[in-house]
Amino acid sequence: MAITYDVRGDETVLIGSIRGSLALEDVSSLHVNLLKSLAEQPTALLLDLSAMHVTDPLALSVFSATTRQAARWPETPVLLFGPPPPTRELLNGSAYRRLIVLGGLAEARARLAEDPGAGPRVFEELLPVRGAARHARDLATDACLRWDLPHLAGPASLIANELVGNVVDHAHTMMTLRLSLLPRYLTVAVRDGSPVEVRLPVDVPLDARRGRGLMLVDATAHAWGCVLTADGKVVWASLRR
């Protein structure tokens, strides 16, 4: 049976159900789908493995890769639950010791209740018009001051300015700016409707009028990246608190 992935929302938590036989050829497509779930920036991603069987044990590395991305951004807990005994035995191996594997959905919810991890967030829908970047700067500065992080107001407003400006200049779609205060990082993320991934430009001088936005983000942020979604992409950057 081919692998399938279905996801449903439950308040701010996403629950993904993986069904079928997991083989190496399924890893790439499943990883993309899991990253799309993370791009929704839920407070947690819970993965139901009760109907999943493993054809090739190496394919389980998809969960390690997803968990590593989640730790970088959006710092979302990824919990696996309900694997059949043979799969549970494989996940108990040393290669997967960083994964959180639980017995069922109730146990996963209880784990989240002990350490919910979600902090304050700011959302704003923006039009791709002149002035959007300035508004993004103001929102980032206000959030940093409200969260008692004045030292991050400058870097966060710069990142917000460049990410929003990039959408205005290139994607030309509606966008959502999100600032999130997480245990270790302040993150700035902009979601737009263009599926074109952004990449760091090459051979663009810092004093150039255009094309240097991502270079500034790269120089300012602790980490940044681009994740494709079902209807576009999210470009994110994090700053150490």
Query: Please, what sign has the CA dihedral across residues 166, 171, 177, 182?
Result: negative
Same domain assignment for residues 110 and 89: yes
- Given a cut of 70, is residue 89 above it in pLDDT? yes
Residue 12, pLDDT score: 77
**Whole-structure pTM value:** 0.86
Of the residues 98, 114, 130, the one at which a domain ends: 114
Same domain assignment for residues 86 and 8: yes
What number is the average pLDDT over the span 166-189?
Answer: 93
Q: Which domain holds residue 48?
A: 4-114
CATH number, domain containing residue 140: 3.30.565.10
Domain count across the chain: 2
Average pLDDT, the chain: 92
- Given a cut of 70, is residue 206 above it in pLDDT? no
pLDDT in tens, 93-112: 999 999 999 999 999 999 98
Of the residues 114, 148, 183, the one at which a domain ends: 114
Same domain assignment for residues 54 and 159: no
